[in-house]
Amino acid sequence: MKDITWNENGHPGEAGQPEEETTEIEGWDDDKRPAEEGTKEEGQPEDANLPVVSIKGLRKSFKDHEVLKGVDLHVNKGENLVVLGKSGSGKSVLIKCLVRLEWPDEGELKVFGKDISTLSYDELNEMRLRTGFLFQNAALYDSMTVRENLAFPLKQHKKKVAAEKKEELIMEMLDNVGLADVIDQMPSKLSGGQSKRIGLARTLILRPELMLYDEPTTGLDTGTAKEISELMIKTKNKYNISSITITHDMACARMTADRIIMLKEGVIVAEGSYEELEKSDDEWIKSFFS
Amino acid sequence: MPSSLNPYQKAKITVTQKRSDLKTFFYGTGDMVAFAGRFFREVWRPPFEWREVLYQCYLVGYKSTFLIGLTGFIMGLVLTIQTRPSMAAFGAISMIPGMISVSVVREIGPVITAIICCGKVGSRMGAELGSMKVTEQIDAMEVSAINPYKYLVVTRTLATTLMIPLLAIFADVIALIGGYVAMNIHDATTFRHFFAVAMAHLEFIDVFPAIVKTFFFGFVVGIIGCYKGYHARRGTESVGVAANAAVVTGSLAVFVIDLLAAQITDLIT
């Protein structure tokens, strides 16, 4: 893994950031990804100033239990929004609603400017291709090797890309996460931290513009959790990815967050930078920072 | 139920519970039918996962041949050994090959093959998909814009639908060999003679409906195994529940289809 420079807040340095090479793939544009920013796709203008994610009045219940009670938030381009909250506060449900793994009961959810509730299955898949999701337990396909795990999304979506280029891309992604040596191993042989990193590599292989991290450091030791947080920053800078991180790991939040919102019983109770929230007088908020 | 309740109140609670169970049963059945119906929509839509279908055919077909063959052989042996005394009492020993062939081809071969596949393949599919559901692998496919139904369910169900008929034919042949071996314990008969008599008793109406119903057996074994796994709840316990439910529901469905097939064949003849 290559080193990342840090400023005093734990954020990556603006200057001196090493420019890393990314593999240019022929035939990559065979997908239905909209045109580059600044250009307009037919009938669907995409404004660069629009938030990548915009949620208004999101409500979600499971039977009688209301998990989300009118959540409003937005994520700007290139920003990492960290959602903090205790277990059961609806954090994971929030990001699952964004990729329609859960259906919201009420509210407007826009991703890349499109209301996801109105998308057809094909349109939803186009949106999902631009969105990466790192699951809490990495969700690697346990009947496939690491190589096959990474090759699987490429095989499904990048049929025109030559086999050598796919292999090149797999190696690039594994190099990014520092695990090129486990390429032929089965997921069952990997540690928790390694699984998370391979999960991240698999997600990044489709070059998402938005990443959703569901408790990326949960269940990991402090050192490995720090490595994962560093990787998140590295990938954000390298690929200019916007992201939402669900966590209750304060070290991860401090390192990765551009902005934090705090979710309590399905309602946003605070919003700000790590430093601003750290100074809060609210007992509940203080309990996270103590 | 509290003991302080009077018989009327107890009866009311019982009726309410039964009504709720019945409602759940019908909802579940409807959901399963919708799940099966989706197969017919998805199976024609590209991309076609031929490689995965072939791999599943290998798992369902090739990997089950020894078990099916052994069971078929024992089936033929036991059937012959047990029917011989009765047939001998009527002086109808020469009819044994015909009796074995008709009963094996029409009924025992297809049903036993389907039941064994239900236990071996259906439970594996239930557990595999259940485990994928619990560990969010199915969700991971979904968010990667990969259709998990198409990749997991269609391929597996196609494999069982194509392989179980072949396995049933294989079981029929091996059962006849078993019958021949058992026949030779007491009576001397040549292999050629045994098969000639056995085949002479088989008619189109014995063979054709039996083969047709095995396609239905294959379909229900696959789709029910996948349904139970695909709808597993969160938690490791649900993987076991899914595997168990796949076997129980699948076996029951095989017998129901067998009953319908028998009735339809009876109407035709």
Maximum mean pLDDT: which of A20-24, A77-81, B184-188: A77-81
Mutate to test the interface with B, among A129, A141, A156, A157 (most CBs of B within 10 A): A156
**Out of A128, A136, A203, closest to residue B145 by CB:** A128
Chain B contact for A131 (CB, 8 A cutoff): yes
- Residue A210 resides in a domain: yes
Is residue A51 in a domain?
yes
Q: What are the chain B neighbours of A99 within 8 Å (beta carbons)?
A: 142-143
Q: Return d(Cα B49, Cα B42) in angstroms, integer.
A: 11
The CATH number for A157's domain is: 3.40.50.300
Mean pLDDT for all residues in chain A: 82
For the CA atoms of chain B, what is the radius of gyration? 23
- HEC profile of B186-250: HCCCCHHHHHHHHHHCCCHHHHHHHHHHHHHHHHHHHHHHHHHHHCCCCCCHHHHHHHHHHHHHH
| Rounded-to-integer distance, Cα B9 and Cα A182, Å | 65
Count Cβ–Cβ pairs < 8 Å, chain A vs chain B: 49
Give the mean pLDDT of A191-210. 90
Residue A280 lies inside a defined structural domain of this protein = yes
Predicted confidence band at A4 (pLDDT cuts at 50, 70, 90)? very low
pLDDT at position A5? 37
Nearest beta carbon to residue B139 from set A129, A135, A152: A135
Cβ B139–A206 below 8 Å, yes or no?
no
- For chain B, the residues whose C-beta falls within 8 A of a C-beta of chain A are 47, 128, 131-132, 135-137, 139-140, 142-146
Residues in chain A within 8 Å Cβ distance of B135: 137, 139, 142
Integer Cα distance of B204 and B106 in angstroms? 11
C-beta of residue A204 within 8 angstroms of C-beta of residue A176 = yes
d(CA B100, CA B73): 12
Contact yes or no for B144 and A142 at CB 8 A: no
Partners of B131 on chain A (C-beta within 8 Å) are: 142
What is the distance in angstroms between the Cα of B231 and the nearest Cα belonging to chain A? 14
- Order of strands across the sheet that contains A114-115: A65-75, A53-62, A106-111, A114-115
Using a CB-CB cut-off of 8 Å, the residues of chain B touching A152 are 144, 146
A144 has a chain B CB within 8 A of its CB? no
Which residue bears the tokens 């369910």? B153
The whole model's pTM is what?
0.83
Closest CA to B64 of B106, B23, B113: B113
**Whether the complex's predicted ipTM surpasses the cut of 0.85:** no
Tokens of A280: 């809060």
Closest chain B residue to A124, measured at CA: B145
Q: Which of A173, A95, A105 is nearest to A131 (CA)?
A: A95
Band of the pLDDT at A86, cuts 50, 70, 90?
confident
Taking the C-alpha atoms of residue B1 and residue A173, their distance in angstroms, rounded to an integer, is 60
Test B142 with A101 for CB contact under 8 angstroms.
yes
C-alpha closest to that of B119 among B41, B224, B195, B263: B224
Q: What is the DSSP letter of A264?
A: E
CA B152, B158, B163, B164 torsion-angle sign: positive
Ranking A31-40, A155-164, B123-132 by mean pLDDT, the lowest is A31-40
Beta-bridge mates of residue B31: none
Nearest to A128 among B132, B135, B143 (CB): B143
- Angle at Cα B226 formed by Cα B221 and Cα B229, nearest 5°? 125
In angstroms, the separation between the Cα of residue A139 and the nearest Cα of chain B is: 5
Q: Do B143 and A101 touch (CB under 8 A)?
A: yes
How close B252 gets to chain A, by Cα (Å)? 30
Of B47, B132, B136, the CB nearest to A137: B136
Lowest pLDDT segment from A27-36, A190-199, B12-21, B48-57: A27-36
Q: Please tell me the predicted confidence (pLDDT) of residue B20.
A: 85
Phi, psi torsion values for B11, nearest 5 degrees: -65, -40
Is A29 part of a structural domain of the chain? no
For chain B, what are the domain ranges?
7-42, 47-268
Does residue A40 form part of some domain?
no
Per DSSP (E only), the strands in chain B are none
What pLDDT does residue B199 have?
A: 92
At A23, is the pLDDT very low, low, confident or very high (cuts 50, 70, 90)?
Answer: low
Number of folded domains that form chain A: 1
Q: What percent of chain A has pLDDT over 70?
A: 83
User: pLDDT per residue over A120-147, tens digit each?
Assistant: 988 999 999 999 999 988 899 999 999 9
Query: CA of B51 to nearest chain A CA: how many angstroms apart?
Result: 12
Low-confidence ranges of chain B (pLDDT < 70): 1-2
pLDDT at A30 over 50: no
Question: Residue A251 in contact with residue A222, Cβ under 8 Å?
Answer: yes
CA A196 to chain centre: 12
- Given the structure tokens 């489709």, which residue do they identify? A206
- Strands across the sheet with A267-272, in order? A131-134, A210-214, A242-247, A80-85, A259-264, A267-272
Q: For residues A22 and A165, what is the distance between their CA atoms, to the nearest angstrom?
A: 12
Q: Which one of A121, A133, A158 would you mutate to disrupt binding with B, by most B Cβ within 10 Å of its Cβ? A: A133
Q: Considering the domain boundaries, does residue A238 fall inside one?
A: yes
CA-based nearest residue in chain A for residue B140 = A139
Residue A241 belongs to a domain:
yes
Name the residue range of residue A67's domain.
Answer: 47-289
Asked whether the beta carbons of B97 and B179 are under 8 A apart, the reply is: yes
DSSP A144-211: S-HHHHHHHHHHHH-TTS-HHHHHHHHHHHHHHTT-GGGTTS-GGGS-HHHHHHHHHHHHHTT--SEE
For residues B85 and A1, which has the higher predicted lDDT (pLDDT)?
A: B85
Looking at the complex, report in whole angstroms how far the Cα of residue A200 sits from the nearest Cα belonging to chain B.
12
Residue A229 lies in a domain: yes
